[in-house]
Chains A and B, each alone.
Chain A
Amino acid sequence: MAAISNQLKYKFGFITAVVVACLIGIFCIGASGLSFPTSVQKLKDNLNHRIQLGLDLRGGSHLVVQVQLDEAIRQHADQAVDLIKDQTRSQNISIGEVNELPDNTHIVVHDVDPNAANKFHDILSNQLQDWQVGPAAGENNGYLLTYPPSAVAALRSNTMEQALETITRRIDALGLTEPTVQFTGRAQDEILVELPGEGDPSRAKEVISQGGQLELTLLVDQTPYASQAEALAAHNGVLPAGSEILPGRASAVSDQATGPSNVYYVVKRSPVVTGQDLQNASPQPSTKSPGSYEVNFVLSNAAAARFGPFTAENVGKDLAIVLDNQVYSAPVINQRIDSNGVIEGNFSQQSAQDLAVVLRSGALPASIKYLEEDTVGPSLGADSIRAGVRASIGSIVVVMIFLVIYYRLAGVNAVVALILNLVILMAAMTYFGAVMTLPGIAGVILTIGMGVDSNVLVFERIREELRNGKANASAVDVGFEKAFLTIIDTHVTTVVSAIFLFLFGTGPVRGFAITLTIGLVANLFTSIYVSRAIFDLHLAHMRRDEALSV
């Protein structure tokens, strides 16, 4: 019997260290750091804390939201056009038509009074710095304003950041468990919202998609009109400067139907107060119509300093409370109002509460659309876990029994390597914070398959070398050496496909790619390093003439 070399001792020392680190990672870390599982309950808690389940296993909703970036660009150009018109009017600069080109990044200003060219340039250079100014083609007094591509790109990414922040604030305010809001990474304009445990995401969707653009402005005409045409006709076809027609929300609408009703108001275009001026918003029972709710808002100090004098000046006129370009109510200003206001709308308690959340979180920079929605009920998730775990355990047991029968002692070695592979896989997933999904369970099973393959490759090779008359030690040596290259080749090719899955896949499929990759790396360690060490240990305890059990 040969002595166990120091090298082998180090090997086993290293393997033991890895196993201990893995077991600690899986079982001994709880919500409050290191905690040894002293009871079954504690063990369960630690496991639940460490192994994160994907939505397909724990149940919940997955929403993909598309931010309408083109709309943000159009709004930006619209604002520039409005600003040019307003400023030239107030400074008495005569200009011709102002046109926006269809791509919304070019504006043409025709026939600018040559005598006021300097003043016009001042407006552009002071207030529209982000637009590049050049002469319009074929015109002496025309200007072409260009929004440069770099600025467009910046606007797009700012809009996305802002939308992400707003949606995050709104979702957080709903008080759901562990929601996540992030970019999908698939396309620039997409945001992924995950709501674990939500069986019906309609409320969250409602809250996410509201624009939340609040504006307080004055009514131009006290009376509403039945149609836009009628409103125009009342002004002989031309609206007064700085005003626009907005649909009203009929006072009798319930909180379900939020579509525009058939009432139209003519309102001042520039609001005195916007949603950005809000300090707080909260639901309260309505005083006028008992049983329904309204939303009370409080203005910031700066806004109150504007709003107080404004209302004092306009006592007797109608204030328009506009939300997302709909007039919600148009109360008469009876006295000076400093900082408080109310949005009436016959809300239910929940919709008033949700509107308050929307107002507090600020407006979305552009409207959104839902591209995808996937809701898994909790019972299906539980079923999937059960089925997945059953299949995994079933296949592991069958494979292990077979290995032991077919390869005897070496089979036991393979079983040890396989179990270790699974332990490392689970531990790596907990340490990386990877999420276990249903395809991830399939990834685990495939990892087992790959592990078996590596062991079989080595064992078959050892058998072959033994048949060719090699001694035990050299047969093991050559077996591992020759199988090594093949194992590397097979693993690299599989990792290559897993990487592409990760790059092109989403959600659960990514989970599969991650699980498979970690499993393959773990497998290289167990089937080559660990399995070899066990063989060496066995050889060291064997007599020279004893037959190798493989």
Chain B
Amino acid sequence: MEFFHAPNFDWMGKAKYFVTLSLILLIVGFASELKQGLAYGIDFKGGTAITVRFKSMPEGQFTDLQTKIRSQLSQAGLPNSDLKPISDPADPRTKNDLVISLAQSKGAQEGADVDTDRQTVVNVLHKVLGETSSGKPDFNSATASEVATYLTQKDPLLLGAKAADHYTQMASALVSARDSDYGGLVSDFNQLQSVNGVTPAVTSALANEYSLGGFAILHADTVGPTVGAQLRTQAIDATLYALAGMLVYVAIRFSGGGLLRIGIAGKKPFFLWKWIDYGIFGIAAVIAVFHDVLITLGFFSLTHYEISLTVIAALLTLVGYSMNDTIVIFDRVRENLHLMRRESFPEIVNRSINQTLSRTILTSGLTLLTVGVLYFLGGQALRAFSFAMVVGVVVGTYSSFGIAAPLVVVWNKFRGGGVTAAPVRAGSAAEKHVAAVARR
């Protein structure tokens, strides 16, 4: 099977359209960043994010609940709370999941207790759900060892002396059933009878000791402001160092300014140009990758996805990926510069892109497929990550022929190349060499 048979597009002829498209995307992204900024996750801005799963309830009630929570939080001294329902279509259990984000409050200044806010939120949730404290601990937040201790003490199965081991196993089965089968939230103790060996005697013993809260805290994350600032610097550093490292590697691997066939003799060029000649492939590749990162960030600003540490990981990965595509094309350009002595530089670049097109489309398509699957099935925690990857793979593929390759061609033209190199006379040694290489 084959998608492309000997494609022959004039990529460099279309370069100006590509550059225009890129400029538009960059400007739109930049404007959005100016207007609404980037949504930083609490990793970077500091604060608290709490993911809560509520027991199932009608949709309208859930919306009401959110309004109540917001106003109650504000009364409790946390006015700037941000509530975001998760509702992942791939996982119905997340229907009533809510992320409550709080900026660093004055009460929880970095220091004594970073989780004051968490406690406030828990209190507010109890209040909003109308759960008066019955004095019983909440089974939905009990640990396996607590349940084991209680059951052993109570011994509802009347096992006597050797009860401890049995109940320890049962408790961990109960807790893992709660967490994996019921998504962390048991709504009725009778549900637990599905666990092997659990009899009504056990569930009623549990009901005596425990209450069932209407919500479970799935994730609570608190980051102090200085750590946030520190992490932000580290992320920017990581990206810049990675780019610098790649620039050096690619520049060294492709250091063959001479291969650009710059045919100016005699005139001594400005010294910097020589340096750029040597590093032009690396420079073009890094500019293209930088362009990808900027455009992806623009998309993040437009879509309000939060930038977290994992998103930075995605950005760095896409840096690597986009670099791959560019290198594959450049590798072919380098090879073709040896083989094709008659063609002009832009023609060689065109030919190289066409020759590798099949690979580019296949690889990018398959990668897009994998990250697409990750986006749809990977769950909430990987959503922003995979979004960055989806955008990154598309933009990264495009930039290798739309930005990186034209940059090299433009430089070549600026340096007086682009025209046919020294013509190879028929029957000359050079032609024989070319023919030999082609035959190999």
- Residue numbers of A with Cβ under 8 A of B are 56, 59, 64, 186-187, 197-200, 202, 205, 369-380, 382-384, 386-388, 390-391, 394-395, 398-399, 402, 405-408, 438-439, 441-442, 445-446, 448-449, 452-453, 456-457, 460, 463-464, 478, 482, 485-486, 489-490, 492-494, 496-501, 503-506, 508-509, 512-513, 516
What is the interface of chain A mostly: helix, strand, loop, or mixed?
helix
Q: Which residues of B contact A497 (CB under 8 A)?
A: 242, 245-246, 316-317, 319-320
When chains A and B are docked, how far (Å) is the Cα of A464 from the Cα of B335?
A: 14
When chains A and B are docked, how far (Å) is the Cα of A492 from the Cα of B285?
A: 15
Q: Are B241 and A500 in contact (CB under 8 A)?
A: yes
When chains A and B are docked, how far (Å) is the Cα of A182 from the Cα of B440?
A: 58
When chains A and B are docked, how far (Å) is the Cα of A112 from the Cα of B253?
A: 70
Question: Which chain B residue has the least Cβ–Cβ distance from A374?
Answer: B221
Please name the 3 residue pairs, one residue from A and one from B, whose CB atoms are nearest each other, closest first. Answer: A387-B379, A379-B184, A494-B320
Q: Which residues of B contact A464 (CB under 8 A)?
A: 355
12 inter-chain pairs at a CB distance below 8 angstroms, sorted by A residue, are: A202-B115, A369-B224, A370-B113, A378-B179, A398-B373, A452-B367, A464-B355, A486-B331, A493-B249, A496-B246, A496-B320, A508-B309
Q: Are B219 and A377 in contact (CB under 8 A)?
A: yes
Which of B231, B314, B379: most chain A CB closer than 10 A?
B379
Stretch at the interface among B162-170, B356-364, B404-412: B356-364
Q: Are A391 and B373 in contact (CB under 8 A)?
A: yes
Q: Are A371 and B226 in contact (CB under 8 A)?
A: yes
Among candidates A202, A372, A438, A442, residue contacting B222 with C-beta atoms closer than 8 Å = A372
Q: Which residues of A contact B91 (CB under 8 A)?
A: 383, 387
Q: Which residues of A contact B178 (CB under 8 A)?
A: 379
Among candidates B183, B309, B314, B328, residue contacting A506 with C-beta atoms closer than 8 Å = B309
CB distance from B194 to the nearest CB of A (A): 16
Q: Are A494 and B323 in contact (CB under 8 A)?
A: yes
CB distance from A316 to the nearest CB of B (A): 40
Q: Are B327 and A493 in contact (CB under 8 A)?
A: yes
Q: Which residues of B contact A496 (CB under 8 A)?
A: 242, 245-246, 249, 320
Q: Are B246 and A388 in contact (CB under 8 A)?
A: no
- Residue numbers of B with Cβ under 8 A of A are 1-2, 51, 53, 90-91, 93, 110-115, 141, 143, 175-176, 178-180, 183-185, 216-224, 226-227, 230-231, 234-235, 237-239, 241-242, 245-246, 249-250, 253, 309-310, 312-314, 316-317, 319-321, 323-324, 327-328, 331, 335, 355-356, 358-359, 362-363, 366-367, 369-371, 373-374, 377-382, 385-386, 389, 440
Q: Which residues of A contact B370 (CB under 8 A)?
A: 395, 398-399, 445-446, 448-449
Asked, given contacts A500-B242, A503-B238, A504-B238, whether A372 binds B223 with beta carbons under 8 Å apart, the answer is yes
Q: Are A492 and B249 in contact (CB under 8 A)?
A: yes
Q: Are A384 and B355 in contact (CB under 8 A)?
A: no
Question: Which chain B residue has the least Cβ–Cβ distance from A488?
Answer: B253
Q: Which residues of A contact B317 (CB under 8 A)?
A: 446, 494, 497, 516
CB distance from B333 to the nearest CB of A (A): 12
Q: Which residues of A contact B230 (CB under 8 A)?
A: 186-187
Q: Are A369 and B112 in contact (CB under 8 A)?
A: yes
Q: Which residues of A contact B363 (CB under 8 A)?
A: 449, 452-453, 456-457
When chains A and B are docked, how far (Å) is the Cα of A395 from the Cα of B367?
A: 9
Q: Are A439 and B385 in contact (CB under 8 A)?
A: yes
Asked, given contacts A438-B381, A442-B374, A493-B324, whether A379 binds B335 with beta carbons under 8 Å apart, the answer is no
Among candidates A373, A395, A478, residue contacting B221 with C-beta atoms closer than 8 Å = A373
Q: Are B381 and A384 in contact (CB under 8 A)?
A: yes
Question: Which chain B residue has the least Cβ–Cβ distance from A379?
Answer: B184
Q: Are B253 and A500 in contact (CB under 8 A)?
A: no
Q: Are A493 and B184 in contact (CB under 8 A)?
A: no
Asked, given contacts A379-B218, A438-B382, whether A508 binds B310 with beta carbons under 8 Å apart, the answer is yes
Q: Which residues of A contact B219 (CB under 8 A)?
A: 374-377, 380
When chains A and B are docked, how far (Å) is the Cα of A186 from the Cα of B312?
A: 17
CB distance from A496 to the nearest CB of B (A): 4
Q: Which residues of A contact B176 (CB under 8 A)?
A: 378, 382
When chains A and B are docked, how far (Å) is the Cα of A66 from the Cα of B109?
A: 14
Q: Are B114 and A370 in contact (CB under 8 A)?
A: yes
A387-B381, A442-B382 known, 13 other contacts, Cβ within 8 Å:
A372-B222, A377-B216, A378-B175, A379-B180, A384-B382, A391-B373, A442-B314, A494-B320, A501-B316, A504-B237, A505-B309, A505-B312, A512-B310
Q: Which residues of B contact A482 (CB under 8 A)?
A: 335
Among candidates B180, B237, B245, B369, residue contacting A395 with C-beta atoms closer than 8 Å = B369
Which of B237, B320, B379: most chain A CB closer than 10 A?
B320
Q: Are B237 and A442 in contact (CB under 8 A)?
A: no
When chains A and B are docked, how far (Å) is the Cα of A375 from the Cα of B52?
A: 12
When chains A and B are docked, how far (Å) is the Cα of A439 from the Cα of B141?
A: 26
CB distance from B363 to the nearest CB of A (A): 4
When chains A and B are docked, how far (Å) is the Cα of A512 from the Cα of B316?
A: 11
Asked, given contacts A395-B374, A494-B320, whether A199 binds B143 with beta carbons under 8 Å apart, the answer is yes
When chains A and B are docked, how far (Å) is the Cα of A509 from the Cα of B41?
A: 15
CB distance from A402 to the nearest CB of B (A): 7
CB distance from A205 to the nearest CB of B (A): 7
When chains A and B are docked, how far (Å) is the Cα of A374 from the Cα of B218?
A: 11
Q: Are B369 and A373 in contact (CB under 8 A)?
A: no
Among candidates A369, A486, A501, A505, residue contacting B110 with C-beta atoms closer than 8 Å = A369
Asked, given contacts A449-B370, A500-B238, whether A391 binds B377 with beta carbons under 8 Å apart, the answer is yes
CB distance from B153 to the nearest CB of A (A): 15
Q: Are B1 and A406 in contact (CB under 8 A)?
A: yes
Q: Which residues of A contact B362 (CB under 8 A)?
A: 406, 456, 460
When chains A and B are docked, how far (Å) is the Cα of A506 from the Cα of B238?
A: 12
Q: Are B324 and A453 in contact (CB under 8 A)?
A: yes
Question: Which chain A residue has the least Cβ–Cβ distance from B142?
Answer: A199
Among candidates A373, A460, A513, residue contacting B220 with C-beta atoms closer than 8 Å = A373
Question: Which chain B residue has the least Cβ–Cβ distance from A402?
Answer: B366
Question: Which chain B residue has the least Cβ–Cβ distance from A382?
Answer: B180
Q: Which residues of B contact A376 (CB under 8 A)?
A: 218-219
Q: Are B373 and A373 in contact (CB under 8 A)?
A: no
Which of B91, B111, B316: most chain A CB closer than 10 A?
B316
Q: Which residues of B contact A453 (CB under 8 A)?
A: 324, 363, 366-367
When chains A and B are docked, how far (Å) is the Cα of A113 from the Cα of B110?
A: 47
Q: Which residues of B contact A370 (CB under 8 A)?
A: 111, 113-115, 222, 224
When chains A and B are docked, how far (Å) is the Cα of A339 from the Cα of B309?
A: 53
Asked, given contacts A375-B219, A378-B175, whether A489 binds B331 with beta carbons under 8 Å apart, the answer is yes
When chains A and B are docked, how far (Å) is the Cα of A371 from the Cα of B113?
A: 9
Question: Which chain B residue has the least Cβ–Cβ distance from A469?
Answer: B439
Q: Are A372 and B224 in contact (CB under 8 A)?
A: yes
Q: Are A460 and B179 in contact (CB under 8 A)?
A: no
When chains A and B are docked, how far (Å) is the Cα of A80 from the Cα of B219?
A: 47
